[in-house]
Each structure stands twice: as structure tokens, then as C-alpha cells.
Structure 1
Amino acid sequence: MNLRRFLCLFNRHRPNRNRTKWNGHFYTSKCEACGQPVYRLGKQKWRKDNQEAPGKV
């Protein structure tokens, strides 16, 4: 298992920066390692996109 994929297990994702989009509330993308949808929580803090995310509608 590579390091990036290992970090995904701890909700530390790396976005595909070429496909990052602004949805009106958050920057969203897909993780390069695991392919899951992610959103930007803060500078260089990307988390798996789920309904429990703070401020998500």
C-alpha cells in the first residue's frame, strides 16, 4: 500500500487539483489516491465528502 492510500484511511486525502471545483460553499474534487469525492475543510485540509460534514446542506 502506498503512502497516499494509507493516509486516506485516516481521512487525509489529496485532491486532483486539475478538477477542483467551487460549488458555492466548498471546493470539491476527487482524491487522487482512492477516487472518493472530497471537499476542502481548510488550507491543505481535504476530507471525504459526506453528509455529516460541518456546514454541508
Structure 2
Amino acid sequence: MILHNLFGRHIPDHQRNRWEGGYFVTQCTLCGQAMIKLPGLPWRLRPSSA
């Protein structure tokens, strides 16, 4: 497992940021996993059901 997965240090790619289904959506610049956020909240990994 990648260390940044263990410590939650995913870095959002702000240039790929887009609005989708009520969330800002992008991907981690380190591993490419999907990330989401609501306005005013921090980025987090996108759950498989979102």
C-alpha cells in the first residue's frame, strides 16, 4: 500500500477540478484516485457509492 494512502496525504489536482452532482470533483495528483469536496470543506477520497 502506498504511504500517502495510510496517512491521508492525497493532493487534489486543482486544474482538473470540476462541478459534478453537487460536489467539486478532481483526482489525487500522486495516485489518481477520485477526490470530492463540498464548498467550504476539505478534499477527501470519493467513496465508491458517490
> Structures share a fold, TM > 0.5?
yes
Unaligned runs of 5+ residues in structure 1 are none
Q: Greater RCO between the two (CA within 8 Å, min separation 6)?
A: 1
1:32 aligns with 2:38: no
Q: Which runs of 4+ in 1 moved over 4 A?
A: none
Instruction: Report the alpha carbon displacement of residue 24 of structure 1 after superposing the two structures with TM.
Output: 3.5
TM (norm. structure 2) is: 0.68
Unaligned runs of 5+ residues in structure 2 are none
Report the number of matched residues.
46
The RMSD of aligned alpha carbons is 2.0
In structure 1, what residue type is equivalent to 2:33?
A: Q
TM (norm. structure 1) is: 0.62
Identity %: 33
